[in-house]
Every structure is written in C-alpha cells, then in structure tokens.
Structure 1
C-alpha cells in the first residue's frame, strides 16, 4: 500500500511544470505585446501628406471611434484600433476635445492624444477696424478662406460692432455677421444707458450716425471728444455739420475715394452731403467704435465750431471763423510744402484760404499729404453751394 499511495506524485509534478511553462510563455507574449504597444505609442507616426503639419477638424460631439476614423482618414495615425486602445488604456477617451488641430508630421500616437486632451486647437481671428463701412467688412469676411457660405446682402451701415472676433473653420460668414450685429446692439444699449445731459442725439440710431462721422473725421483717439463737441455745438446752433467724409460716403458708399474732393462733388446732393443738408445724414457712414460713441453720448463742453488738419495727423480747432481761416492757411501751406509766414496771416484776409461761402475753388484740388480732403468748413451763415444732381 505504501508504494501504491506514492504513485500519482509524478503526474502532479508534470502538471505543475506544464502550468509554469504556460505561464512563462504567456508572460513572454505579454511582455512582447506590451513592448510592441509601447513602441507603437511612442514611435513616430505617418509623414504629413503636404508640408510639415496636417490640419484636422474634429466636430463637436464626436466619439472616440469617429475621432479615430477622422485621424486615420487625414493620415495622422496608422491604426484606428491602436488609437482607441491607447485612448482607453490612458483614460484619454473621456477627455478628447473637439476643434481644429495642426498635427506635426510624424507625430507619435502619444503626441496626437496629448494634443487632443490638452485642447491645443488652432485659433483664427478676424478684425473689423473701427470706421470701416459694412461693405468693407463684408470684403474682409469674404477674404477669410476658412469661412463658408455667402453674405446675401451688405448689412445696414452702422449695424456691425468693430472688434476682433474668433472664428472657426467651417463657420458661416452669415453667422459671423450675426455675432457682430448682436454685439453692436448690446454695446449700444449699454452706452446709451450711460449718456450724459450734454448730448444732442435723441435716439440710439442718431448716436450711431453722429459717431460714425466723428470716427471718420479723426483717427486720433484723444481728439474724438473734441470733434464730437464741435458737431454737437453746430447742431445746437442750427449750423450744418459740413463734414467731408459725408461727401465721400455719398459718392462711394464707404469705399475710399483715393483723391481730393472735387468742387462738383461738394455741390452734389447725394442725400449724405452735410454741406447741403441740415442736421444728420439719413444713415451712418461707417461702423463706429466705442470711443466715438462715448464721445457723442458724453461730449465735453467747448465753444469750438471748426477744425482742420494740422499736419501732424491731428486737427487744429477754432471757435471763430477768423481763427479757422488762419488754421486753414497753415494747413494749405503744409500741403504745398512750405512754412506759413506769420506776417502772412492778417485777421480776416488769409492768402490761400477760401473766402466765406466758398469751400473749394478748383475742380480738382491737389491731394493732401495725410489723406484729408481739402474741403473746409464754411463761414457761419454762408450761402449753400449751388446743388448739382445726385447722378452727376
């Protein structure tokens, strides 16, 4: 019996050996598999098909499978399954972010996943400068190739908020216009609520019209309140605004004129020419910025009624027409490239300055140095220039 009881021992020993061998084999395969996965995870990925990067856009709401398929189709990863496995094992599958990405050529799987979890998306911006017309704003958006769709009609003048906007690839141009209009409505409401007692505008719409003129008259921020005060004083006294940019807008509807204003254009009744119409023009002549709106809604108290370019990019302001004529003479001398002699400025008689009632004396004046037009404000009570039909 003692011998029989010990007989099964070699069987058990063989089973243990077999199990150990199988375990060792599995471990080897596991180690090999992990080494392979490690190598795939960290090794360089595919070469970009063009250039040094590949642009990939992941739509919002995309799952891991859809993201993996998009990356594979773009040539950014080699295997959909490996991406899904790596994302799952690292926990990245719950942190992948939508957006537009620039993936470097030969980026490893680890780099791609890290880009997507960090949300290092490509950011695009478009700027609508203050004082640009709605037609010019449409031109800017049409030039942005990442945007889609068309703008069926130019938005109303003054309805866009001049600012820098972040845009996304594939976003429609119409949606960007809608954002600009919403911003304009919101900001105008906030500024209107803070208007001061010195403002002459009666409605938010009038504020935008007058602010657009202020915006076009000067690019110097510190001058905008004073320019707004000049126009406010003129409105209170029943004087015409006599703003050169309104002449230009009636001709080009917001496009640059590219030359000086002609006498025939001064006389042309376009509906916006404030040398010929009383009060404000029917619409804004541009999309004004915040500072111009604030200046119109809270103008300082001054006695200024005139201004003209001073040759430095700013303007010389005057309370009387005699002072204005002296400033005009200095400006014309600067245009001509000569210094104005002090003795050449007798009160009331200024060589080169337009006489009261005549804002231009030549059909086509020489273009000024800073792009300012050569028309100047008239004497108080001066006769309106003879009108010419709007279609001339």
Structure 2
C-alpha cells in the first residue's frame, strides 16, 4: 500500500471519527429543552411510571427540541429500563446527557413547600396535597382520622397546629405518613424545653397555646404588638371574661369577607364564637405563625382588658391598637373606630 493511500485512509478515518465525536458531543451536551426563560419544567414521574409515559409527558408539554437525539441517547444509556419515580427539574441550559443521567439515577429535585395565611383545614389539605404524589384525598383521610391525630398528640380539630408556617424541601414521592412524620418532627424541634416550660407556666398545652396564637395572629400583623394583645386575652381568661375576639366570629361564620362584626353576627351559636363561649375555641382559627406563638409564650404583663384599632387624626386605620383597662375607656376608643368605619362605608 502506497504511502499516499495510507495517508488518505488515515485522514478519512480521522475525519469520520472527529465528525462522529463532534456530533455525539453535540447530541449529549447541547441544550435540548425548550422551557420558559423564567421557569424550568418539572417532570413528574409517578410511581409505576414507564419510559413511554416519560416520552408522552415531554411531547405533550413540547419540552424536547430534538426528540431523535434524546431517544437515541436514552436507549444508549438504558433509561427505558431504569426509569425512577420522582420530580425532576429540566432547565433550558440542560443537555441530553445531564437530563438522562438525572432521570436514570433518580436524582430528584425536592418540592419547595410553603404554607402560611391558611384558615381552614380543608384549604391546608388542598394546598399541601396538590404538591405531592399522595394527593389531597390521602392527606385528608389521615388528618380526619382520630387515631392518626392521637398518635401525634392532637385531635381532628386541632391537628392543624402541627403544621408550622414555613418553607420546607420535601421529595414529591414522599409517602403521606412520612410527610406527617416530617411535619411532627419540625413541630417537636420548635417546641424546645424552654418553650414547653413557658406554656406550662401559663397553664396551657402546646395545642392551646397555638389556638390563642391563631387569634393573636388574626388580630394584628404587627409583630411588635402581638405580646401586648396576647396579654389582653390572658388577662380576660384569668378573670373569666369571654375573649370576645372578632376573628373567632368571622371564622365561626366561615365568611372571611366580613369586615365588621355586628351584634347579629356575634350572636351565632358556635364553639368558635368567643362572644358566646368562655375560654378558647376547640381549635386554631388559622395556622399561627411562630412569631405569634412566641408572643403568647412571652406575653406582656399589664392590666389591659380591651383593645380597639387605632385611628389617626385624619380617620385612617393605623394598623396598631389603642388599649384600655376599663370598659369606659374602651368605649371611647370603640366609638372613634366605629365612626371611622362608618365614614369608610364599611357595614
């Protein structure tokens, strides 16, 4: 074989090899996912999901740019036999190789679960259940089961106290019982020995502290005022006075559009209506923040028994409250507040 022929063969092989290597590199590394520039695509593979179901989901959502290269590399890396359930985030800068290895290895991206400002148990169940594979129905079944609630130290009415508003990272495939275990662990971490001792000093259980904290949370969004409001309610309880907390009336009616609690509304017979019953409601009227819980545990010591929304000289609501020791003092504050509501045509 002549030297020129050998050189030609070598060059041809080198070109073919280089071309193939470049194409393979492109197929593996070039970004191949068409997702929103501000939002990545979360691929959900349910338990029992197949390779075909993965392809169907990607096609339905028009996520893959070059379907042929994705399928070729997926088969080469044996993805069809190694599909694992989970939640996998596909970024717009991700190539086939990175994505396929992620799916094949089961390298899930956790759900960032945030919940706060939730009033009803049913809303909490929907908010959480919709984020995970177990779904709302499975969560509702356990949270409405007396035995399950008892296992965690609650009943079906106050079990929502176990869910502390925060942001949590949890895998989408987490089983519902494991999820509840995680929430209980977070609850136990929050309730340190020091907090438990403060609750005992008040004469309340952890769940009862959460109930009162939910009322405090509903009364004000001013963190610095919460300990004073908590002190008012504790004073009223000590003197066997009804709490007469307007947020409990609103909760009892389950009508959160109410802006003004009237005598007709406060006449409702309900265990949650603290105008009609002494002491605390049977459960929280929202998910109390940890700030509100600590406000109850560290309530301000004073003689106030009443409070009313503070009004500035121009008749505007300030977001803070005027506090009073006597009912006569309170009436003066209340009349100013009611006049402001009338002026704003709040019925």
1:39 aligns with 2:40: no
Q: Greater Rg, structure 1 or structure 2?
A: 1
1:46-57 → structure 2 map (5 Å cutoff): 55-56=42-43
The match for 1:324 among 327, 330, 345 is: 330
> 1:313 is paired with a residue of what secondary structure?
strand
**Greater displacement, 139-148 / 18-27:** 18-27
In 1, Cα distance between the equivalents of 2:194 and 2:266? 34
2:250 paired residue number? 248
Q: Which moved more, 1:141-150 or 1:243-252?
A: 141-150
Paired position in structure 1 for 2:275: 275
Structure 1 segment 121-270 matched on structure 2, within 5 A: 124-130=111-117, 132-141=119-128, 144=131, 148=135, 150=137, 151-153=139-141, 156-157=157-158, 158-169=161-172, 176=179, 179-189=182-192, 192-193=195-196, 195=198, 200-252=202-254, 256-270=256-270
Partner in structure 1 of residue 343 of structure 2: 337
Q: Does 1:29 align with 2:13?
A: yes
User: What's the CA shift for 1:135?
Assistant: 2.5
Shift in CA distance, 220/77, structure 1 to aligned 2, threshold 3 Å? farther
Q: Residue deviations 1:285-335, cap 9 Å, x none?
A: 222111111111121221211101122122111122222111112111211
* Structure 2: tracts of 5 or more residues without a match: 59-63, 79-85, 145-156, 311-316
Q: Which residue of the partner structure matches residue 100 of structure 1?
A: 88
Whichever structure has more helix as a proportion of its residues is 2
CA distance 1:50–1:213, change in 2 (3 Å): closer
Partner SS, residue 78 of structure 1: helix
Q: How many residues align?
A: 306
Is 1:290 paired with 2:290? yes
Relative to 1, partners in 2 of residues 1:120 and 1:228: Cα closer, same or farther, differing over 3 Å? same
Distance in 1, matches of 2:226 and 2:206, equals 18
Residue 190 of structure 1, CA deviation: 5.2
Q: Deviations over 1:329-355 (max 9, x none)?
A: 2111211228xxxxxxxxxxxxxxxxx
Tell whether the 8 Å contact from 2:130 to 2:136 is kept in structure 1 after alignment: no
Instruction: State the Cα deviation string for residues 156-215 of structure 1 (Å, max 9, x = none).
Output: 432321222335555567765554344234323556335278x53332222122112212
C-alpha distance in structure 1 between counterparts of 2:36 and 2:284, whole Å? 46
- Relative to structure 1, the CA distance from residue 85 to residue 29 in structure 2 (aligned partners, 3 Å threshold; closer, same or farther) is farther
**TM-score, with normalisation over the residues of structure 2?**
0.68
Cα displacement (A) at 1:282: 2.5
**Residue in structure 2 matched with residue 78 of structure 1 by the alignment:** 69
SS class of match (1:333): helix
The alpha-carbon distance between structure 1 residues 162 and 23, as it changes in their structure 2 partners (threshold 3 A), is same
- String of CA shifts for 1:365-386, please: whole Å, max 9, x gaps: x746xxxxxxxxxxxxxxxxxx
C-alpha distance in 1 between matches for 2:228 and 2:107: 45
Give structure 1 stretches of 5+ with no counterpart: 1-16, 61-65, 88-97, 339-365, 369-392
Instruction: Find the residue that maps to 2:112 and give its secondary structure.
Output: strand
Contact persistence 2:270–2:276 (CA under 8 A):
no
Flag the 1:55–1:335 CA change in 2: closer, same or farther, 3 A: closer
Q: CA 1:290/1:42 → structure 2, altered by over 3 Å: closer, same or farther?
A: same
8 Å Cα contact 2:209/2:293 also seen in 1: yes
What's the TM-score once normalised by structure 1's chain length?
0.61
Give the Cα–Cα distance (whole angstroms) in 1 for the partners of residues 7 and 54 of structure 2.
39
